[in-house]
Amino acid sequence: MQAGDLVIRNVLPHDLDECYAVEIYGFPPDEAASKETIKLRIDTFPQGFFVAEIGGRVIGMVNGGCTNKDDISAEELKRLIGHDPDGRNMVIFALAVLPEFQRQGIAGRLVGRFVEEARRNKKEKVFLMCKQHLIAYYEGMGFVHRGLSRSTHGGSQWHEMCFSITD
Ligand SMILES: CC(C)(COP(=O)(O)OP(=O)(O)OC[C@H]1O[C@@H](n2cnc3c(N)ncnc32)[C@H](O)[C@@H]1OP(=O)(O)O)[C@@H](O)C(=O)NCCC(=O)NCCS
């Protein structure tokens, strides 16, 4: 990959199939969102859904929503139930990059773009949930580990990470 080939942009409706492919590659079946859920996220809040594109192909994505709450463990938020575009916080639901494009900084660029969107909209915090092995990765980007989440999404243990936006 040449650095100049990578484009990070807001999702478009026709990206659905490619985004779903990225989701399926990235997450095991009991954690992956359905195609319907991905479509719902694209249709409802494209402002918080970014794709990484190389040569016209979507190879990574980050998506999320907004909430006024600090508790992000509610499963239904991932289906935008309780999502409030004016909410003071943003929440990342999914971040994934196709295996052959990993470890080149693309996920870092996607999270950076998501945080930039949060800052532009004067949000207070960006939250996400991750597994143990990625805590240090997100800490490296400036997220703070808040401890274990009450969520048992997909039967796993999840850690809450929080990035505070400061101007
Ligand atoms: C996690 C993920 C999005 C990272 O994408 P990426 O584009 O490779 O990330 P970057 O290139 O920006 O950063 C790479 C860094 O991520 C961390 N990392 C990635 N995968 C890791 C793993 N399995 N274990 C530990 N650290 C890991 C490392 O710090 C790595 O840096 P290194 O290559 O110097 O070791 C990608 O591995 C992925 O899609 N995984 C499957 C879906 C997933 O787990 N998403 C996270 C949900 S919270």
pLDDT tens profile 37-67: 999 999 999 999 999 999 999 999 999 999 9
Compute the distance from residue 112 Cα to the ligand 1 centre, in Å.
Answer: 14
**Ligand 1 pocket, mutate which of 132, 134, 160 (most atoms under 8 A from CB):** 134
The predicted pLDDT at position 2 comes to: 59
Give the sign of the dihedral formed by CA 121, CA 124, CA 127, CA 132.
Answer: positive
Superfamily of domain 3-123: Gcn5-related N-acetyltransferase (GNAT) (3.40.630.30)
Compute the distance from residue 103 Cα to the ligand 1 centre, in Å.
Answer: 6
Compute the distance from residue 25 Cα to the ligand 1 centre, in Å.
Answer: 13
How large a percentage of the chain has pLDDT more than 90?
92
Residues within 6 Å of ligand 1 by CB: 26-27, 95-97, 102-108, 128, 130, 133-134, 137
Which DSSP symbol is given to 29?
T
Q: Read off the tokens for 78.
A: 């991932």
Mean per-residue pLDDT for 4-32? 96
Helix axes 16-26, 35-44, angle to 10 degrees: 130
Q: Which atom of ligand 1 is nearest to the CA of 136?
A: 29
Contacts of range 107-112, beta carbons closer than 8 Å, 24 or more positions apart: 107/60, 107/62, 108/141, 109/6, 109/8, 109/52, 110/8, 110/50, 110/52, 110/60, 110/61, 110/62, 111/62, 111/141, 112/141
* pTM for this predicted structure: 0.96
Q: Which atom of ligand 1 is nearest to the CA of 128?
A: 48
Q: Nearest C-alpha to atom 46 of ligand 1 is from which residue?
A: 95
Indicate the residue type of 116. E
Mean per-residue pLDDT for 91-107? 97
For tokens 């994505």, what's the residue? Answer: 61
Compute the distance from residue 81 Cα to the ligand 1 centre, in Å.
Answer: 28
Which pLDDT band, with edges at 50, 70 and 90, does 90 fall under? very high
Compute the distance from residue 86 Cα to the ligand 1 centre, in Å.
Answer: 30
